[in-house]
């Protein structure tokens, strides 16, 4: 799996969790201290997120960081 594929899989997983929690991108962005466009880029796999950014997103989603990597 290359970087782009991994970023897309993580982005899809963030969307899944965010949707299950009843949050929209703006809600998640606010909780992370980011703007909505940044969350959109992460969810679409357009950026190679740092582990720190993913950690902040996991905290905002109230899940452990490893949950963002649980995909098939």
Q: Is the pLDDT of residue 69 over 80?
A: yes
- C-alpha neighbours within 13 Å on the C-beta side of residue 10: 27
The residue ranges of every structural domain in the chain are: 3-69
User: 61 is written with which tokens?
Assistant: 């989603």
Name the architecture of domain 3-69. Orthogonal Bundle (1.10)
Whether the pLDDT of residue 72 is over 80: the answer is: no
25-34 burial, b for 16+ CB within 10 Å, e for fewer?
beebbebbeb
Measured CA to CA, the distance from residue 45 to residue 53 in angstroms comes to 13
Cβ neighbours of residue 22 under 8 Å, at least 6 residues apart?
Answer: none
Residue 4 pLDDT greater than 80, yes or no = yes
Question: Please, which pLDDT band fits residue 71 given cuts at 50, 70 and 90?
Answer: confident
Q: Could you report the per-residue pLDDT of 14-59, keeping only the tens digit for each?
A: 999 999 999 999 999 999 999 999 999 999 999 999 999 999 999 9
pLDDT score of 46: 96
């Amino acid at each position: 799996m290359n970087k782009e594929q991994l970023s897309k899989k993580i982005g899809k997983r963030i969307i899944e969790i965010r949707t299950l929690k009843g949050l929209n991108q703006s809600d998640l962005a606010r909780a992370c201290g980011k703007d909505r466009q940044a969350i959109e880029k992460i969810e679409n796999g357009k950026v190679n997120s740092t582990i720190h950014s993913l950690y902040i997103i996991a905290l905002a989603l109230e899940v452990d960081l490893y949950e963002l990597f649980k995909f098939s």
